[in-house]
Structure 1
Amino acid sequence: MDAATAEGFKQAMDYERGRKAPPENFPSLPDIPGVRYTNPEFLELERERMWRRAWLYAGHSDQLPEPGSWFLTRDPGAPILVVRGLEGDIRAFYNTCQHRGAPLVAEMSGESRGFVCPYHGWSYTLEGKLVAVRDRRDFVDLDFSCRSLVAVRCESIGNLIFINEDPEAEPLAQHVAPMAKEFEQYQFGTLRLVDSRSYEVECNVKVLLDAFLEVYHVQSIHQKTVARFLDHRGMVITLWPNGHSRMITPNSRPEWQDPGTIGMPKIATVTEVPANNNVSYLIYPNFVMPPSDSGVPLLQFWPVTDRSCRVVSTWIGPDYDPAASNPLWDTRIANWERILYEDLQFAPQIQESLESRGFRGMPLNYQERRIYHWHEELDRRIGLNQVPPDARVAQVLGDVVEA
């Protein structure tokens, strides 16, 4: 972000702090129907039309250190094998032998020169090509060229690997185009994998996704942590096409610096706004990233069942040495986890309430418009005429840029 852009954000923050009501042209947001969090038919449409056709974060290239390295992910719902080829390229395949559907690997990661199905011995290269079949003489007209592993779209932003089960999906670079220029400053191609851990939570995945799209809750549940330094009333939002969005929340005191980052290596190219404020990006549908100039947390929210989900918290950072213990990182991740637990604490009880007769829908305010934007995009991906009438969200904000 150049100086003019930074000055524009400062003016926008001043406007937000001083306003007495939403902007005059801001529409009244209809309630988000409660059935979107509980109705099995709607949630099945969500899985088929959105989750299985979306660009989803699979992992970091540090998980594939050598040619032949691979890891298995089940987070998208299907078991998908991500592998680094002999030439260094990264591909993804369903972990499914083309003979009888047996899994090619059972562990979560490893190294191999190829894959041999443990059930009947069919063998594949790292490029997914079938090269050997036991007792081939007993097969009639078996065409190896038609029996390769089924590929899954696999593309990267720097060292961040994304997959998409939809072979017709637009390229990842085109999908995130509104954010691409800003992402350059974070040098994702140089940041190392620091830590990753996951949390199982008994609620629909959207309960937690919603919470990470606003700061309206900060003064209530983060009183002893981020509420001490965040100025939520100065928060500025940008809505982008494809459901993506960005939220920039200023610090209460301009000179404030996170004590947990003092002494840590810096990403020298990070510009003024993200270095001195709290920026959070959403890559639709489930990738939340609040970067800083000393490290970047990556949050993913995965549906497990209709009423349970998994939150994955990953950290990447500059000049990180996986072989050396760094107490600064230990402290920082512990502080981050404390804040994360504050966000997760009410989720199971919220789910219980969503399923009761006491909940009918969500009346969202101007601060919460990223949530409404997310839901509008979900209906567009399902198909506006395919969403059950009692679950529909009116297209009020629309697929437009808001700065």
Structure 2
Amino acid sequence: MKLDHDELAAASAPLNRARSMPAGFYTDPEIFAREREHLFLKHWFFLCREEQLPNPGDYRAFDTPGGPIVLIRGKDEVLRCFANYCRHRGSILLEGEGNCGGRIICPYHAWSYFSDGRLYGCPDMQDAEGFDRVENGLVPLSLDRWNGFVFANFSRSPKPLLEHLGDLPQRFASHRLDRMRCTWKITLDGACNWKLVLENAMETYHTGIVHKNTVGAQQSRTLETRGDWICIQVISGRSIATLPGAPPPFPPIEGLDDDAKMGTYFTVIFPTCQFAVAQDSMWWLNVTPVSHERSRVEIGGCFPEDMLGRSDFAEKAAAYYERWELVGREDVGILEKQQKALASVLYKPGPLSWRDDMVQALGLWVVNNTGL
């Protein structure tokens, strides 16, 4: 399916006369299928922090638009990512997260694999003509890391992750994100299109309304970027990773540059992830597109590693967890209403505000990379 030419032209117009994307951009399963082919299966997508799998045999399973995958730390301590199915008849191998003890055993017919993906055991296959144990190992995905953040890609020859990230590493250099450690995560299910989640995360137009009883009204500035990401900064002389009313429990990161001291960065790393980087912490919204009208949103929270040893860490970190979850649930609630409204046969794209510049930018990135 292609978007209506006139509606796409209106969505692409200069911001002072632009309109929002047509309803089908969020409600049409054919559009979602095109996004799957051109975005989700070709671009890098975020998985987790590498310290979340510290030991040999540790694994975490993920459901993705390209099917189930599993990230596992091998006996040699190397992280690898595989399609999460048995090479015999396709059963899921691992679920959730845990430690497989160095051996992955299929729960259906007991085929087994080493943690590096090699086939180990295959009962009753001795008479199978032409059977090759090497060729029947687990199917790998491309995997790369930046500062401890792990990304995967279904493409066998993707462009380098650092090229995808562009100048993001330079922007966050003074935060020393390599020293961040994940201490908390929660997953929310939303009856809404994946793009609505990320659009909402890139504008402060709604914060004084949807979040009037939590974070309240915010003001932001848009920053220029190079690479497959976009960025705004919510201006605040203190971290906004906790609710207003009391000073943030943790001190600012030492050595922040002057730009970083001005506020919290909110990004979208295309296609499906946000990193929010504050003066004292960072958190992510990792969006898994489930269908054209359903998304799964993982919120993960990180702190500098030298904070974790404090005797009062758990007590003080709770204020951050509360804020991240409350605001996340408020956002999902309003987006589910938006998704429902977009199904109206009378829906017409509305005019954009100057505060919707990154909403427009996100939509146009999707259009340009899918050929809609």
Q: TM-score range by the shorter chain?
A: 0.7 to 0.9
> Aligned partners of 2:33, 2:169: CA distance in 1, in Å?
31
Is the contact between residue 204 and residue 306 of structure 1 (CA under 8 Å) also seen in structure 2?
yes
Runs of at least 5 residues in structure 1 that lack an aligned partner in the other structure: 1-24, 388-403
Amino acid at match of 2:234: T
> Cα gap change, 1:133/1:255 in structure 2, threshold over 3 Å: closer, same or farther?
closer
Normalised TM-score (structure 1) = 0.80
2:264 is aligned to 278
Q: What residue identity is the alignment partner of 1:222?
A: H
**Residues 250-261 of structure 1 mapped to structure 2, 5 A cutoff:** 250-251=235-236, 254=237
Tell me which residue corresponds to 2:354. 366
Q: CA deviation at 1:27?
A: 6.7
Match of residue 15 from structure 1? none
Q: How far off is 1:247 after superposition?
A: 0.4
SS of 2:113 mapped into structure 1: strand
1:69-108 to 2 correspondence within 5 Å?
69-108=58-97
Whichever residue aligns with residue 235 of structure 2, its letter is P
Structure 1's 326 and 106: CA in aligned 2 closer, same or farther, altered over 3 A?
Answer: closer
Instruction: Find the counterpart in structure 1 of residue 5 from structure 2.
Output: none
How much does 1:302 deviate? 2.0
User: Which of 201, 215, 230 is equivalent to 1:226?
Assistant: 215
Whichever residue aligns with residue 309 of structure 1, its letter is S
1:302 partnered with 2:288: yes
Query: Secondary structure at 1:118's aligned position in 2?
Result: coil
Which shows bigger deviation, 110-119 or 348-357?
A: 110-119
Opposite residue 145 of structure 1, the aligned amino acid is V
Give 2:10's aligned residue: none
Q: Could you tell me how far apart the structure 2 residues matched to 1:327 and 1:117 are?
A: 41
Q: What percent identity do the matched residue pairs reach?
A: 22
Q: Structure 2: 5+ residue runs without aligned partners?
A: 1-13
What RMSD, in angstroms, separates the aligned Cα atoms of the two structures? 2.5
Q: How does 1:313-328 map to 2 (within 5 A)?
A: 313-318=299-304, 319-321=306-308, 326-328=314-316
Alpha-carbon spacing, 1:262–1:209, altered in 2? closer, same or farther (3 Å): closer
2: CA distance, partners of 1:320 / 1:75: 33
Please, which moves more after superposition, 324-333 or 348-357? 324-333
* Per-residue deviation, 1:332: 2.1
Counterpart-to-counterpart distance in 2, 1:81 and 1:189: 23
1:96 CA drift (Å):
1.1
1:98 to 1:269, Cα distance in 2 relative to 1, 3 A: farther
For normalisation by structure 2, the TM-score amounts to: 0.87
Partner of 2:8: none
1:151 CA drift (Å): 0.4
- Residues 331-359 of structure 1 show CA distances to partners (whole Å, capped at 9, x for unaligned) of 22112322333323322221111000231
Name the residue aligned to 2:327.
339
Q: Closer, same or farther in 2 for the Cα pair 1:255/1:99, shift >3 Å?
A: closer
CA contact (8 A) 1:157 1:188 kept: no
Do the aligned partners of residues 260 and 169 (structure 1) sit closer, same or farther apart at CA in structure 2, a change above 3 Å counting? farther
Partner of 1:292: 278
Which residue of structure 1 lines up, in the alignment, with residue 56 of structure 2?
67
1:314 positional shift: 0.5
8 A contact 1:175–1:242 mirrored in 2: yes
Q: In 1, are the aligned partners of 2:60 and 2:95 still within 8 Å (CA)?
A: no
CA offset at residue 77 of structure 1?
5.0
How many aligned residue pairs are there? 354
Residue 41 of structure 1 aligns to a residue in which SS? helix
Partner of 2:134: 145
